[in-house]
Amino acid sequence: MNEQSHVEFKGENMKTPIYMDYQATTPMDPRVVEVMMPYFGAKYGNPHSRSHSFGWEAEEAVEAARAQVASLIGASPKEIIFTSGATESNNLALKGAAMFYRDKGKDHIITSVTEHKCVLDTCRHLEQEEGFKVTYLPVQENGLISLDALKDAITDRTVLVSIMAVHNEIGVIQPLAEIGRICRENKIFFHTDAAQGAGKIPLDVNEMNIDLMSISGHKIYGPMGIGALFVRRKPRVRLRPLINGGGQERGMRSGTLSPPLCVGLGEACAIAEAEMASDNERIRLLAKRFHTAINDRLPEVILNGDDEHRFWGNINLSFAYVEGESLMMGIRDLAVSSGSACTSASLEPSYVLRSLGVEEEMAHTSIRFGIGRFTTEAEIDYAVEHIVKAVEKLRAMSPLWEMAQEGIDIKSIEWADH
Amino acid sequence: MAYSDKLIEHYENPLNIGSFEKDDDGVGTGLVGAPACGDVMKLQIKVNPEGIIEDAKFKTFGCGSAIASSSLVTEWVKGKSLDEAGEIKNTDIAEELALPPVKIHCSVLAEDAIKAAISDYKEKSAAIAKGEAAE
């Protein structure tokens, strides 16, 4: 059990720590848990069993879930492959397409420097082990790729472009429809990692000319351990499977499906589809409340990433002259994550923020605040109080803040390396 | 990351935050680290005519371990002679706060900060002595 305690705030009884790490994972929606339960108990059939009602019942549930996933993104159920999660989906999309089309003279992939590690690492693997060439597009200061740079990178050997939909660290939304159009014009497949995008922003695979799309269950209030890959049928995308076996999932992903997980993902998608507009409106209002209050009370706080093309459930802020990890210690009542990788052993500032051109010292001061379906207004107000108090305290003890107040440009000082 | 109670106490209620006028005769200032690395420590000592550190203050931009290390050393140097203060080792700081391995550099920085403050004080008093001798 998660160790939560209760505090009184503005007359309300609130559970702390307050969960603001929705990009790491979302809590399961209780409605999702409810529909999953029978498949852990009485409904235990193998969906691939064809000779009895146990199997038929499970198959029916899995196929209904497949249709729910498809509906969320405007696809046909036949185009949905269940996987273990977005990491597997991204691996299957990239390696699967790359390896299938390699014999046809296609050995070039285009992606961006700010993709999730599982895309970047897969690309590195294809470069180092399989001889592919990969172009890593830079991003602009606002976190978006340049469409001209994309056009320039395309060659007649390009097989695939992989650009994520909504960014996990800074929340920016890439121009998917424009990327899709460019890819279609050049007869190149377009894959998007929509782990943070599906269910959060309207996505239509046909309108946006998306050929492959990765989806994760636990980022949309569904279960961990399941995801999906959309694989377009017209024009058809062929993939070489990563996992061989009984030929399930149209031969692209063998292995027995888990009906409770499939049903959970399906329900999560159905709820997201039905409630996206109202969820987003709520989240946007909470985000504005949060961001405005912080800005009103604290000078020199920077929002990382484009302020228009973004999903507001992800707010990545740099608090100048305050180090991110000490700030996280100061707001221990909030479950957040540092934009910089300080929590890991590397102690390096985030490669994403560095790619945006954020100065290293500012990249060290960043924290990502996630707002989601279950965030309340009282929680936002409580978070603001805590953040303001902690930042003021840390600035009061920051030599850099002191210098800035004295008008000393910290860049004019010769700092020693260590 | 699990931190020791001592570290958390120093982070939450740090001792000796603040600044002395750095141009005052008895004050030595050490500024170490770099913003790009995520740690900057400014440690100041106030030395009496007998060569004893009467008071110390710090300001630190850095993680909780860096703040706690600064707080601890400012407390430790008080009442010590310059030589005694110069003998404080980063390993003593790391041990006292039970710093995890990835945070050892914070204690190194704190040791560097004391040494820098001491050497700043010594340079300054040497310059003053020279000035007085010239008069």
Q: Say if the Cβ atoms of A416 and B60 lie within 8 Å.
A: no
Distance spanning both ends of chain B, measured CA to CA: 58
Query: Is the separation of the CB atoms in A194 and A87 below 8 Å?
Result: no
Question: Does the pLDDT value for residue A340 go beyond 50?
Answer: no
Q: Which SS3 state, helix, strand or coil, does residue A92 take? A: helix
The pLDDT of residue A166 is 98
Has A269 been annotated as catalytic?
Answer: no
| Residue found by looking up tokens 């992903």 in the block | A253
Mean pLDDT computed over A241-269: 97
**A301, β-bridge pairs:** A319
In whole angstroms, give the CA distance from residue A314 to residue A20: 9
The pLDDT of residue B102 is 87
**Chain B: residue nearest A410 by CA?**
B35
- CA max distance for chain A: 80
Mean pLDDT computed over A187-202: 98
All CATH 3.90.1150.10 domain ranges in chain A, comma separated = 5-28+276-412
In whole angstroms, give the CA distance from residue A140 to residue A305: 9
Q: Say if the Cβ atoms of A323 and B105 lie within 8 Å.
A: no
**B57, β-bridge pairs:** B44
Q: Which SS3 state, helix, strand or coil, does residue A160 take? A: strand
Residues of A in contact with B66 (CB under 8 A): 323, 326
In whole angstroms, give the CA distance from residue A147 to residue A134: 17
* Smallest Cα distance from B132 to chain A, Å: 31
Q: Does A392 touch chain B (CB under 8 A)?
A: no
Residues of A in contact with B3 (CB under 8 A): 329
The pLDDT of residue A347 is 57
Token reading at B27: 């004050």
Question: Does the pLDDT value for residue B104 go beyond 70?
Answer: yes
In whole angstroms, give the CA distance from residue B24 to residue B42: 16
Provide the b/e sequence for A114-138 (b: ≥16 CB within 10 Å): bbbebbbebbeebeeeeebebbbbe
Nearest to B102 among A345, A397, A418 (CB): A345
* Smallest Cα distance from A112 to chain B, Å: 24
Question: Does the pLDDT value for residue A379 go beyond 90?
Answer: yes
Question: What mean pLDDT, rounded, does chain A reach?
Answer: 94
All CATH 3.40.640.10 domain ranges in chain A, comma separated = 30-272
CB contacts under 8 A, B 5-64 vs A, are 8, 11, 14, 17, 19, 31-42, 58-64
Mean pLDDT computed over B63-85: 96
Residues of A in contact with B99 (CB under 8 A): none
Q: Does A153 touch chain B (CB under 8 A)?
A: no
CATH of A5-28+276-412, one of 1.10.3720.10, 3.90.1150.10, 1.10.357.20, 3.40.50.1820: 3.90.1150.10
CATH of A30-272, one of 2.40.160.40, 3.40.640.10, 3.40.50.2300, 3.20.20.370: 3.40.640.10
The pLDDT of residue A5 is 83
Q: Say if the Cβ atoms of A396 and B64 lie within 8 Å.
A: no
Q: Number of C-alpha atoms within 13 angstroms, CB side, residue A201?
A: 24
In whole angstroms, give the CA distance from residue A105 to residue A132: 11
Residues above pLDDT 70, as percent of chain B: 99
In whole angstroms, give the CA distance from residue A331 to residue A19: 12
CB contacts under 8 A, A 272-331 vs B, are 321-323, 325-326, 329
Nearest to A392 by CA among A335, A327, A336, A343: A327
In whole angstroms, give the CA distance from residue A95 to residue A89: 10
Residues of A in contact with B41 (CB under 8 A): 399
Taking only the tens place, the pLDDT of each residue in A45-95 is 999 999 999 999 999 999 999 999 999 999 999 999 999 999 999 999 999
In whole angstroms, give the CA distance from residue B76 to residue B107: 13
**Chain A: residue nearest B17 by CA?**
A397
Residues of B in contact with A400 (CB under 8 A): 35, 40, 61
The pLDDT of residue A357 is 87
Backbone φ and ψ for B18, nearest 5 degrees, come out as: 140, -170
Q: Which SS3 state, helix, strand or coil, does residue A373 take? A: coil
Q: Does B99 touch chain A (CB under 8 A)?
A: no
Mean pLDDT computed over A277-292: 98
Residues above pLDDT 90, as percent of chain B: 81
Residues of B in contact with A343 (CB under 8 A): 1
Mean pLDDT computed over A117-136: 97
Question: Does the pLDDT value for residue A346 go beyond 70?
Answer: no
Query: Is the separation of the CB atoms in A327 and A284 below 8 Å?
Result: no
The pLDDT of residue A262 is 98
- CA max distance for chain B: 58
The pLDDT of residue A362 is 82
Query: Is the separation of the CB atoms in A77 and A91 below 8 Å?
Result: no
**Chain B: residue nearest A329 by CA?**
B64
Amino acid occupying residue A275: E
Nearest to A369 by CA among A356, A387, A385: A387
* Smallest Cα distance from B72 to chain A, Å: 14
CA B71-B75-B80 angle, 5° bins: 140
* Residue A385: C-alpha distances to residues A161, A297, A334, A411 (Å): 43, 10, 11, 31
pTM score of the predicted model: 0.91
In whole angstroms, give the CA distance from residue A392 to residue A179: 43
Query: Is the separation of the CB atoms in B72 and B41 below 8 Å?
Result: no
Nearest to B38 among A345, A364, A397 (CB): A364
**Chain B: residue nearest A322 by CA?**
B61
The pLDDT of residue A233 is 97
Question: Does the pLDDT value for residue B65 go beyond 90?
Answer: yes
| Residue found by looking up tokens 């027995």 in the block | A256
